[in-house]
């Protein structure tokens, strides 16, 4: 028996009851919770608001496009060359933003993808940058330019108003949808990292594998770990890979004077008559019989972890 899926939530509770037989336990009813990703499920009110947002935003962009096209049409001569680059840049940003609005109207039932939110953020920053450029220049159009039977003194402030409005609009829209933008950016970065890890290293490069060998020479090839990692590893009972020999099954004695590049942690050993060397035993195999009787009868070393 399964409950119906709720309309405004992503959780579904399912109760399962086993068939009663001779060996059926008393507690034969089980509850299972299922969760659904409801990012693509939007209400009718949200769809209406999304459509109104795209319509009003697209209308503001179209008004600015019409103004700039008329300005570029009248500035074919040589007396408006100082203001044409800014107008062309603004037309490019407006074209991208209008295309995003049309795409949003086509796919109202779906959320904005991360690349569309990133483009809208870039366009918003571009609008505010052009606004500051026009403010620094002191004017948007020449003093004698006018459009739509408007007074020459009001041609520039209208562009200022629309630039500021659309720029802040884009930034607010991106801030509201920041979670979708962040998730998309993290997915892209993870894909790039996986791709970089999967690529094989170049032949003859510095990333060639170092042959493993036994003895102090193999340890001298590997770089010594730093002090923080060495201390943390020994506290947790793990041996750093670059400090000891890779072979197991026999004891190893390493002299610090002979290998100054190898940094080993301090170990206090009872009844040790050689302070200049450090004895590290990696196996419990009994030692050879050719040792002195007093040394063979010595108690086993006691390991004290720092």
The string of pLDDT tens digits covering residues 97-148 is 999 999 999 988 888 888 999 999 999 999 999 999 999 888 888 888 888 8
Q: What is the pLDDT of residues 192-247, one digit of tens each?
A: 888 888 765 555 545 444 444 444 444 444 555 555 545 544 454 444 444 444 44
Global pTM value: 0.51
Token readout for 154 is 């009001």
Mean pLDDT of 287-306: 54
Q: Bigger pLDDT: 303 or 128? A: 128
C-alpha torsion 44→46→47→53, nearest 10: 150
Token readout for 110 is 């779906």
């Amino acid at each position: 028996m399964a409950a119906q899926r709720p309309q405004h939530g992503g959780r579904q509770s399912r109760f399962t009851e086993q068939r009663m037989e001779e060996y059926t336990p008393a507690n034969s009813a089980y509850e299972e919770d299922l969760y659904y990703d409801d990012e693509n499920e939007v209400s009718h009110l949200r769809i209406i608001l999304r459509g109104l947002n795209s319509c009003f935003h697209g209308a503001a962009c179209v008004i600015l496009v019409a103004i700039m096209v008329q300005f570029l049409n009248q500035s074919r001569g040589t007396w408006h060359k100082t203001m044409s680059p800014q107008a062309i840049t603004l037309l490019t940003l407006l074209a991208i933003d209008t295309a995003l609005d049309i795409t949003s109207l086509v796919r109202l039932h779906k959320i904005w993808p991360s690349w569309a939110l990133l483009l809208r953020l870039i366009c918003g920053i571009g609008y505010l940058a052009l606004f500051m450029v026009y403010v620094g220049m002191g004017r948007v159009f020449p003093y004698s330019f006018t459009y739509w039977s408007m007074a020459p003194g009001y041609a520039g402030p209208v562009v200022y108003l629309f630039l500021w409005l659309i720029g802040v609009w884009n930034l607010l829209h991106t801030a509201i949808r920041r979670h979708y933008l962040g998730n998309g950016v993290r997915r892209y970065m993870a894909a790039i990292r996986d791709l970089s890890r999967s690529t094989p290293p170049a032949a003859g490069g510095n990333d060639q594998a170092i042959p493993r060998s036994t003895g102090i020479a193999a340890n001298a090839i590997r770089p010594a770990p730093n002090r923080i990692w060495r201390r943390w590893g020994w506290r947790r009972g793990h041996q750093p890979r670059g400090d000891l020999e890779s072979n197991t099954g026999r004891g190893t004695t390493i002299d610090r004077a002979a290998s100054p590049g190898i940094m080993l942690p301090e170990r206090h050993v009872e009844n040790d008559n050689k302070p200049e060397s450090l004895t590290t035993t990696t196996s419990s195999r009994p030692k050879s019989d050719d040792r002195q009787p007093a040394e063979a009868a010595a108690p086993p070393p006691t390991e004290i972890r720092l």
